[in-house]
Structure 1
């Protein structure tokens, strides 16, 4: 079903590609047809929507405003189709999820198992990125839902659910710090450190601790890979830092110990679920968000009890 003006879909594809030729290739139409639709749009609006730059097309101020309208219209079309299918007794739809890497180990598989067991005909695509990139993907309409740590507040985003988890040091059970119920950064800094890269929210959460520590520290590695930091911590190479989210199996198997950081109280970080502000959620997306919310509540309660 194609219930919206062709020009809107053409405009959105040009926006994503930054090129009329590439947009035409993806739409399987002639470049002249795409260009003609764009020119008609610009004539109706009374302003250019793109700047023609040497490296491609860039949205003008009018183009930015128009793009927000187009994203809303096209996402509302997805919602309408899902509702029409629901009226017919058909369960279908597609959900585009973007999340931080650490969720791939345990939390996201648990959510996807529940979602796909309940709604086996829903198509879900998942990709990973840093927290800032997850937010931008939702704002740009490239993803339906973002799950990330400590996202900056934005009028373009709506937070649908949140869990708060303690940021801590992770070490193997044989490490000298492993028997402590919680540790300070100063205690961790006596040992070689593995720090998160600036792409990760952990990097920014720990900045004040590092800045206020007046003694020299030994940083063995700075990386945007949670998996790499976790593996090196298991090997006893250095002290790494993260929440319990993403190391559930290693903690359960006795490979790692998670030690909450004192700063001066517990240092908490938010894991939130976000959609574009003002968007009406299709039934499948709403169901997915409810599953994530349930999982966050369970894990936050488990951590509080521990």
Structure 2
């Protein structure tokens, strides 16, 4: 069921794909039909919605404003369809979750396993990104829910729930610091380090503290992959910094050790986000609640370890 004008759907496809031809392929229509709808829409609005550039189409300022309206309209249509289906006794729908890469080991699988068992009719799609990209996915309407670390406050994003987690040092059980109950940041820099690259939330949190230390850092590797950082630390190739979240499997297998940092280092806030003005369809609301339960479980572990 499509209750809105073709022009809105065609505009949204062009916005996401950056090309009339690509939009036409996705919509299974002729490119001339897509172009005609766009021209009619621009004539009605009285402003060009895209800049025609050699590399593709980019939204103008008017296009950016109109895009926010279109995203809201299409998401509200999805909610209406699901609520109508619910009246007919049918549970169906789609949930798109954008999640920080480091949560794909156990946090996200735990929540989605429950969702899939309880609501098998709901289609789920996931995206793994850095935390900043997670927020952009939600704002652009490409994801319904975002789970990310340390996102700065934005009026366009609504945080459904957030918990705070300390940074610790992670290392192989054979590491010289592995038998200590806790460690100081100054102790850690005496060993090879595996550090997060700029742009990763962990790097942003630690950079002021590492920069204030007098000695140069003996880092072996900078990476934007949290999973690679964890795996190399578990193999004894260096020491890394991480929250307790996402380490369950490696800790339980005895492949990795997590040690609290005694320093006054910052904490990472892990939050669940949706677009601020959006009314959530039932399937998305349920999935967000299950992600919230998993977040509270990890927060409870943090309290026990205090």
Per the normalisation by structure 1, the TM-score is: 0.97
Q: Distance in 2 between matches of 1:166 and 1:251?
A: 17
* 1:4 paired to 2:25: no
Q: Please state whether the residue corresponding to 2:173 is helix, strand or coil.
A: coil
In the alignment, what sits opposite 1:285?
284
Q: Please state whether the residue corresponding to 2:132 is helix, strand or coil.
A: helix
Q: Please state whether the residue corresponding to 1:159 is helix, strand or coil.
A: strand
Q: Any residues of structure 2 matched to 1:1-306 within 5 Å, and which?
A: 1-264=1-264, 267-306=266-305
Q: Distance in 2 between matches of 1:72 and 1:47?
A: 20
Q: Please state whether the residue corresponding to 1:112 is helix, strand or coil.
A: helix
**Following TM superposition, by how much is the alpha carbon of 1:137 offset from its aligned partner in structure 2, in angstroms?**
0.7
Q: Distance in 1 between matches of 2:277 and 2:23?
A: 27
CA offsets 1:250-276 (integer angstroms, 9 cap, x no match)? 112222111122332x53101111111
CA offsets 1:191-239 (integer angstroms, 9 cap, x no match)? 0100011232001011011111111210100011122111111121111
Q: Please state whether the residue corresponding to 2:126 is helix, strand or coil.
A: strand
**Following TM superposition, by how much is the alpha carbon of 1:28 offset from its aligned partner in structure 2, in angstroms?**
1.0
**Following TM superposition, by how much is the alpha carbon of 1:26 offset from its aligned partner in structure 2, in angstroms?**
1.1
Q: Please state whether the residue corresponding to 1:210 is helix, strand or coil.
A: helix
Total equivalences in the alignment: 305
Structure 1, gaps ≥5 residues long: none
Are the aligned partners of 1:261 and 1:267 in contact in 2 as well (CA < 8 Å)? no
Q: Distance in 2 between matches of 1:180 and 1:298?
A: 26
Q: Distance in 2 between matches of 1:21 and 1:70?
A: 20
**Following TM superposition, by how much is the alpha carbon of 1:83 offset from its aligned partner in structure 2, in angstroms?**
0.5
Q: Distance in 2 between matches of 1:87 and 1:27?
A: 29
Are the aligned partners of 1:178 and 1:259 in contact in 2 as well (CA < 8 Å)? yes
**Following TM superposition, by how much is the alpha carbon of 1:164 offset from its aligned partner in structure 2, in angstroms?**
1.4
Q: Please state whether the residue corresponding to 1:124 is helix, strand or coil.
A: strand
Q: Please state whether the residue corresponding to 1:3 is helix, strand or coil.
A: coil
**Following TM superposition, by how much is the alpha carbon of 1:295 offset from its aligned partner in structure 2, in angstroms?**
0.9
Q: Please state whether the residue corresponding to 1:270 is helix, strand or coil.
A: strand
Are the aligned partners of 1:181 and 1:259 in contact in 2 as well (CA < 8 Å)? yes
**Following TM superposition, by how much is the alpha carbon of 1:182 offset from its aligned partner in structure 2, in angstroms?**
2.3
> After TM superposition, where is structure 1 displaced by more than 4 Å over at least 4 residues in a row?
none
